[in-house]
Structure 1
């Protein structure tokens, strides 16, 4: 048959951008302003790795969660990295680091679990590629050489000098040669095995000058080991593609001009289907090409993304949804607002039948299996790379891949070469763990490991990182794919990672703002970062104002509209303000803490009797109802217990005398008991924040030196302690931190800064402080303050000077479970004005009839806004009990009653049902379904299709025979005479 009639199976592949709920937030990688594109890689577990050019390590997202782990153990800024199997190899500065990447990990667990290669004589590395098709060989491009390293023995194999800086590297599909593009616009082909056996010159095949532009070029391999594809700029600044044949490397076998744009081309080649997705940095257009060994053909349609693309990569073929006919998935890094995010774009082929696996669309693909050792590869043993079937029902033979590295870091031994590498660590291999099948969980039975391989594997896991010889594998790579009946040995189930998007009732939460009162004319004074800038309860709003004596203005919510032009009333403690707090139990009680260490209690007028009418002002309050000396020196923040009347925890603001003190201030100044110091706990540095537990018996604190401590509230003894992320806040600038307990759970979270001003939220399990989850948001100088919902796992992150509020849904596992904590980013609330401070009200003030799950007040430069966070629902006449669970409220007790109770007894609580009496829960409403019964008479008179046709034909026959004359209707009309036609 003529080749022009041989159509490709993928010619009609269509691209579709995933919904925003499935986007993966990355934070800030500082790649938008870089001349080069960021390095991105994926693995078979569905994780995406993104390099941060600002020294922030490698961001790891995906694998069924929106959590953003950052690998900061590279030792400086990351120039380039590559991921193959469970190994990540990265270069940064003069160091090459190889890190084990298990299927589930946290950034802290792998900080020291690495094998480091490097010495003082190692020049700045630019690119690195890990050979995964055949042997554990890493190719590193330096300023003056291309160095090949045996990752198994951590020894240098050969170093090939080159006259120009290499810009990109690509191993051939068989892993025998390495192609590279350089700054001198020459494409080179390296054969390191020839250089080892003969000479360096014999290992380099030089092409003619191509891609003569001044901007960098890239090269990628095809499935055929003899061909490569490169992208770059011509001398006339046109973007172009080129095909290279290693058997004729003097010039490209095919060249194609793309366009005249200026953005760097990002080639994304799927070697199984031959589809090339071509994106440009800073552009929104993705072109699709079909690549063969002789031609490059562009498809008819281009895809337009909703956001400009900074960088992109293809998802690992073992992680795509094959049952949805997804032949490829593009993971595009883009800027969304103030941070960066990964946008998944699926390439699918339309098929009517999606129940069965489409064998023609998904041939066996390359796996991440090491098939021979590095020494065998050096001895010119050419073994085809192993392949694996994408069929979820396929059974695979137990194979081997690089396993998790030991936690013992190797020693660095400098030698006088480009890379100084000596190590006695053996090379460990284990069973490969490819992820097969669609994105939905699919159980796949796998054969049990053989008895001969199991002891070797189990013993190797207890050894140090690498061993010189891998385990044996099937002699024929074709035998790695088996389609056999159910095996007789035991099997285990395997499932693919779930999709990132989680169907939640709060996915479309929205904030509705209303002006509460405006005409504010004063700016807040300069206060410490630990001090509140705004607070509110169900009756009053309060905020500090400039002036002597630490003034705090208060105004009732009942007086909405414009604030009066005359002076608004204030409380004046007569000393500079350190912190203040509006009581949630009493509508008119205000606490102030001054820098003289005195805690004062103020009683405000009842809102209904607020004496501010007819434009007449109210006198300032200067005399508190109670005053207690709680600190000998300068005070920091205070925390008033929500359920123990009169219990206040105060922090000192002096670094030399940093301490946390627990006071009984006498039931809020009502004279029921005398003020007394219950306990005092010394700290090595300033205390940034604290939060009470849900049971009321513990308090968690964060310190400037990085200590996170849980303190028993009765005794003042530290019951649990950990370091924040392995390092302290002081090590990264000491800009502050916040902590908050997550509702009625055993989890709490901290908010602070990471490296390069990266704002981070870390979630802890109080029963196991080593079980943490790190979530990075974006780069900003403003410290975020968390506000946690009382009954829902929702947290609101607020930053001073910002016009938006970030909302996260936290999916918490059981306390004693080893499951990871999942944090899902919801829609942001965005306002037109920047906020100075924010205060959230208790849950019982929310309007459940309007499905209002939270209510807060925002202080801006000129007004105070009320924001209602609502969930859209259609049946508002019913009580939405799925998002309004019963509210657990503590019963207020005195300090004396609390101290007389047993030590491990929790505070008593009561359950409050938020459902109004006149409403009915939506879960108890039965949907009325009307079922129409067919009568026997109707069934009897129904005709079959053949009978209907017979009746229709009989009717047409009667109509045709109705007029026996055979005339038509027009014959019955009388026309004009024939002689009239002559006129």
Structure 2
């Protein structure tokens, strides 16, 4: 009788390696704020990093194609009056990014494809609703323009960015500071971790906790349960999630049964909080410790023991933050299954995870169809109770980022609302039927036209500078 000794898996030999020195980003003043976010967000076009800034909060946006030493005068995205705590790219528009700050606001920005000549200071929309600092933001995975924010006021607010309005406010669900929020694959549920050492599964549209367990799904509760990525293709075919808690324990629990965790993975002591990243296409969880210098990765399966240790990538320098590239931004010709952007004190170092294959052909088993940039629902449809899985795309021919799509915000005009019933008394000698709405609309239209003119001039100046650089480099 033959007996299988080694577990069969196409990801057993995944290995990580840093890129060459000229493909790193150097001279970046990474933020020193003591907050447990990743400080970095990545998409197929840009890498955004929270940086030090005097007189407020800022982050820098760098094109992926432009590497090397960053100019100290490189334009920043500024506008917050206090340090930026979290940033997140919109999954449905590669030019839109949201930022959360200690100034209690959330701002949404439109990033141009070209490098602007001056700081970006005007957000597309400012969302105000929290009374304390906002430390967590997360876009809905399938619905257009739906953004979640969580603050130190223990509130979770869902916004319609397209109108600048609140959709839902989840209050009285958390008794203490919220550490992390994660969506499930279709955005129908979310899971949170809290300072009270409890993990909660919440139906946001019903505004109720559908499952909860504490402390942190562990028989030996750690000091602080932190990040919780929602795992698909997990035990019991019910969906599930992993509670990546403060070292030394990582727990895995099914969504519908919180009585006992189905798997506990003991971790060695890390210097800081763990940042988990989950790849649903390969069912691999990557655990990165802030202040640590390693990336541990595990494969999640449908059979016991469910969690299988694969390997550890280690480097010499400790990491201050980490960005995780979406699947559509990977180089499929090199069998690349994950790419990290590792932040150091003055540098951003891309790390590439690769499966060794000799063939140059497209590897179907490594790259199943993955969520694309098109939303499956509108905000109103999701709010009404409709759910939809992400719209998938094939990576067989590689992914080409779409051109800049403008985020349009349509706010309700309070002047268009009907006046309260009853006779209005006025001491003005003007015509009582006079309305200021047309005049206001005319002024707003002029402001829009001026903004478009300024943006066009900035692009023209940038193009001329690039041509001048090419001309100068081509002459003695």
CA distance in 1, matches of 2:250, 2:88: 25
For 1:379, the equivalent position in structure 2 comes to none
For 1:750, the equivalent position in structure 2 comes to 243
For residue 872 of structure 1, report the CA deviation from its aligned partner.
0.8
CA distance in 2, matches of 1:888, 1:652: 28
Aligned CA-pair RMSD: 2.5
Question: SS of the residue aligned with 1:724?
Answer: coil
For 2:282, the equivalent position in structure 1 comes to 792
Work out which of the residue numbers 670, 683, 692 in structure 1 matches 2:183: 692
Work out which of the residue numbers 200, 209, 213 in structure 2 matches 1:722: 213
Instruction: Assess if the C-alpha contact under 8 Å between 1:743 and 1:788 holds in 2.
Output: no
CA distance in 1, matches of 2:219, 2:7: 33
CA distance in 1, matches of 2:28, 2:131: 36
For residue 828 of structure 1, report the CA deviation from its aligned partner.
1.3
Work out which of the residue numbers 544, 566, 573 in structure 1 matches 2:80: 573
Q: Which has the higher contact order (CA 8 A, sep 6+)?
A: 2
Q: Once the two structures are superposed, what CA deviation does each residue of 1:796-829 show, in whole Å capped at 9, x if it has no partner?
A: 111112222111111124xxxxxx3421111212
Q: Once the two structures are superposed, what CA deviation does each residue of 1:466-494 show, in whole Å capped at 9, x if it has no partner?
A: xxxxxxxxxxxxxxxxxxxxxxxxxxxxx
For 2:9, the equivalent position in structure 1 comes to 504
For residue 710 of structure 1, report the CA deviation from its aligned partner.
0.8
For 2:138, the equivalent position in structure 1 comes to 639
Distance 1:521 1:661, change over 3 A: closer
For residue 725 of structure 1, report the CA deviation from its aligned partner.
5.0
Output aligned runs, 1:758-769, within 5 Å.
Answer: 758-769=247-258
TM-score, length basis structure 2: 0.75
Instruction: Assess if the C-alpha contact under 8 Å between 1:891 and 1:907 holds in 2.
Output: no
Question: SS of the residue aligned with 2:38?
Answer: coil
Greater gyration radius:
1
Question: SS of the residue aligned with 1:610?
Answer: coil
For 1:913, the equivalent position in structure 2 comes to 394
For residue 764 of structure 1, report the CA deviation from its aligned partner.
1.2
For 2:361, the equivalent position in structure 1 comes to 878
For 1:808, the equivalent position in structure 2 comes to 298
Q: Does 1:588 align with 2:95?
A: yes
CA distance in 2, matches of 1:581, 1:725: 26
Question: SS of the residue aligned with 1:849?
Answer: helix
Output aligned runs, 1:944-983, within 5 Å.
Answer: none
For 2:58, the equivalent position in structure 1 comes to 551
Q: Once the two structures are superposed, what CA deviation does each residue of 1:920-965 show, in whole Å capped at 9, x if it has no partner?
A: xxxxxxxxxxxxxxxxxxxxxxxxxxxxxxxxxxxxxxxxxxxxxx
Distance 1:622 1:568, change over 3 A: closer
For 1:238, the equivalent position in structure 2 comes to none
Distance 1:909 1:584, change over 3 A: closer
For residue 694 of structure 1, report the CA deviation from its aligned partner.
0.8
For residue 888 of structure 1, report the CA deviation from its aligned partner.
4.9
Question: SS of the residue aligned with 2:380?
Answer: helix
Any gaps of 5 or more consecutive residues in structure 1?
1-354, 356-438, 441-497, 612-617, 668-672, 814-819, 918-983
CA distance in 1, matches of 2:218, 2:338: 35
CA distance in 1, matches of 2:71, 2:179: 37
Q: Once the two structures are superposed, what CA deviation does each residue of 1:878-915 show, in whole Å capped at 9, x if it has no partner?
A: 3322222333557342211222344xxx3144343333
Instruction: Assess if the C-alpha contact under 8 Å between 2:30 and 2:343 holds in 1.
Output: no
Instruction: Assess if the C-alpha contact under 8 Å between 2:141 and 2:185 holds in 1.
Output: no
Q: Once the two structures are superposed, what CA deviation does each residue of 1:367-404 show, in whole Å capped at 9, x if it has no partner?
A: xxxxxxxxxxxxxxxxxxxxxxxxxxxxxxxxxxxxxx
Q: Does 1:675 align with 2:158?
A: no
CA distance in 2, matches of 1:737, 1:845: 27
Question: SS of the residue aligned with 1:838?
Answer: strand
Q: Once the two structures are superposed, what CA deviation does each residue of 1:66-86 show, in whole Å capped at 9, x if it has no partner?
A: xxxxxxxxxxxxxxxxxxxxx
Distance 1:848 1:674, change over 3 A: closer
- Number of equivalences: 388
Any gaps of 5 or more consecutive residues in structure 2?
399-476
Q: Once the two structures are superposed, what CA deviation does each residue of 1:113-155 show, in whole Å capped at 9, x if it has no partner?
A: xxxxxxxxxxxxxxxxxxxxxxxxxxxxxxxxxxxxxxxxxxx
CA distance in 2, matches of 1:861, 1:774: 33
For 1:663, the equivalent position in structure 2 comes to 159
For residue 739 of structure 1, report the CA deviation from its aligned partner.
0.5
Distance 1:601 1:913, change over 3 A: closer
Distance 1:680 1:690, change over 3 A: same
Question: SS of the residue aligned with 1:551?
Answer: strand
Question: SS of the residue aligned with 1:645?
Answer: coil
Distance 1:891 1:534, change over 3 A: closer
